Amino acid sequence: MLEQNQKEGISLAVLIPLIWLLRAASRGVTYWLSPDMGAGINAVEVDYLKGSPIDRNFFIVLEVLAVAVLIFRRIDLKEFVRRNRFLLLLYLFMGLSVIWSGFPEVSFKRWVRTVGDLLMVMVLVSEINFTSATVRVLRVWSYVLVPLSVLFVKYYRHLGVSYDHTGIFEIWIGVTTHKNSLGQLVCVSAFFFVWVFFSRAFRMKLLDIPVMMLAVWLLNGSKTATSRTSLVVFLVGVGMLLLVKLAKTNVKVIRGVAWVLVLGFLLGNILTQHFAAMDLVPCIVQSTGGDPTFTGRTFLWDELLKIGQNRWLAGAGYGGFWIGSLGHQLWETFSWRPGQAHNGYIDVYIDLGIIGLILLALTGISTFRNIVRSIAFDSDWGRFRLVALLMIIIYNYTESSFVKPTSLLWIVFLLISVQVPEDLPDAAGKREFLFRNEDEDENYGESDELITVSSEEEDS
């Protein structure tokens, strides 16, 4: 029986998403049981069509446990569907797209795995105090993986360090299998601790600062190879967190900045296409002396967009593009043998078509609106969600995490996208639960339905 911690409202059930998250942000169980398989470029690949039976059974057990917890808690599915209709429509379409995938069995297995990502998030948000439960899970997760990554990089280099095909460039991978995966891990961890530091709702623990410093050190990477995207995303995230803190509950400013960024990006692309024959971001990178092709990524994007036109509406099926000949044909052109688009939006387009992109965009817009409402009530968790959403949007410009099964940033995206009533403490020491119909007027005040429960009533 899962007994609740009455003081913090956290049950033992959080161990299920914690274990899932530890696996998602590191290596497969197969690799942990057989360290000699290596990692990075020297790794012995598991058959990507059949997968690892050990990992598959590991995920199935956790998914079954998560379903059992949710059944035990009697989740109001009707209300959950109403609040998260766009996200669930995206998942439904991902499942349907398995039908026209060239490898339906493999696509179905991957879809089941990413359903597991959603189940883990549902277990977390169904906790009595889900924000405290989430903070505890992320804290313990960081305490385990960040120091272990440092240990691997410094002292067990056959596990924590890889090299490129020339043997010249040293690449830190820590407990993961790739420098970009390590970049995601330490970016999320470091930002989480920065957010806790500025949060009014949560206090810093003794080990928070040391682990955060280790994460920043790993984020900087080796002298010859760094996950630049993760580093830039972290710095942008910290800057945006400070700005959001300054804005306090002024949601008009937040909305205004969002509109300026969107319209500025669209207008900038139009102008740079007209005057410089390139998109806005590559143009900015070139003006600062950087590589406007993002180390060859833009050439890959052009090829993928051309191929994607053949199945522009519904794509090649969930996870189906890179499995078969469509993706492998590109290996003849690109010597680095891409296994993803290095752009999350293009990956969604080639797998799920325009329909998938629209559903993803609707999910993001709905999430943003819900976040702004919570910030209007001075929610620290709302600020975390807002900045994390921006970081993931930026990350997916040159890397890919959207709809990827057991991808760390996809799980974080689900965590900030799933909409549930949030605890909103006010100055009077009471607790307010915001129950609001997403279709209602966006004005705050009389149109919001607030149920206030005093601490005495809550304890009774």
DSSP labels, 311-351? GTTTTT-TTTTTTSHHHHGGGGT-TT--SS-SSHHHHHHHH
Q: d(Cα 140, Cα 211) in Å, to the nearest integer?
A: 11
Q: Is the dihedral of CA 434, 1, 113, 35 positive or negative?
A: positive
Q: d(Cα 365, Cα 249) in Å, to the nearest integer?
A: 19
Which residue type, as a one-letter code, is found at position 268?
G
One-letter-per-residue 3-state SS of 83-98: HCHHHHHHHHHHHHHH
Place of tokens 């690109």: 334
Residue 182 lies in a domain: yes
Which residue type, as a one-letter code, is found at position 228?
R
* Residue (of 365, 361, 366) closest to 396 by Cα position: 361
Residue 454 lies in a domain: no
3-class DSSP assignment, residue 453: strand
* Tokens found for residue 7: 């003081």
Residue 282 lies in a domain: no
Q: CB neighbours of 371 closer than 8 A, spacing ≥ 6? A: 382, 385, 386, 389, 416
Q: d(Cα 348, Cα 318) in Å, to the nearest integer?
A: 9
Residue 68 lies in a domain: yes
* Residue (of 112, 457, 161, 147) closest to 318 by Cα position: 112
* Residue (of 234, 223, 148) closest to 192 by Cα position: 234
* Tokens found for residue 8: 């913090």
Residue 253 lies in a domain: no
Phi/psi zone of residue 123: left (φ > 0), alpha (ψ -120 to 50 degrees), beta? alpha
Q: d(Cα 162, Cα 332) in Å, to the nearest integer?
A: 25
* Residue (of 422, 440, 437) closest to 379 by Cα position: 422
Query: So what's the pLDDT on residue 337?
Result: 83
* 460 residues of the chain, pLDDT tens digit each: 333 444 466 889 999 999 999 999 999 888 888 766 555 444 545 555 667 788 899 999 999 999 999 999 988 888 899 999 999 999 999 999 999 998 999 999 999 999 999 999 999 999 988 999 999 999 999 999 999 999 999 999 888 888 876 667 788 999 998 888 999 999 999 999 999 999 988 999 999 999 999 999 999 876 656 678 888 999 999 999 999 999 888 888 888 888 888 888 888 888 887 677 778 888 887 777 777 888 888 899 999 999 999 999 999 999 989 887 777 788 888 877 888 899 999 999 999 999 999 999 999 999 999 999 999 988 999 999 999 999 999 999 989 999 999 999 999 999 999 988 766 554 334 333 333 333 433 443 333 333 333 333 333 3
**pTM score of the predicted model:** 0.87
424, 374 in Cβ contact below 8 A? yes
What Rg value do the Cα atoms of the chain yield, rounded? Answer: 22
Residue 190 lies in a domain: yes
Residue 128 lies in a domain: yes
Count how many domains the chain has.
1
Q: Is the dihedral of CA 344, 120, 45, 56 positive or negative?
A: negative
Query: So what's the pLDDT on residue 175?
Result: 94
Q: In Å, what is the CA distance from 433 to each residue of 35, 271, 379, 451? A: 48, 46, 12, 6
Residue 283 lies in a domain: no
- Domain span at residue 341 reads 12-248+295-425
Apex 24 CA angle, 224 and 184, nearest 5: 35
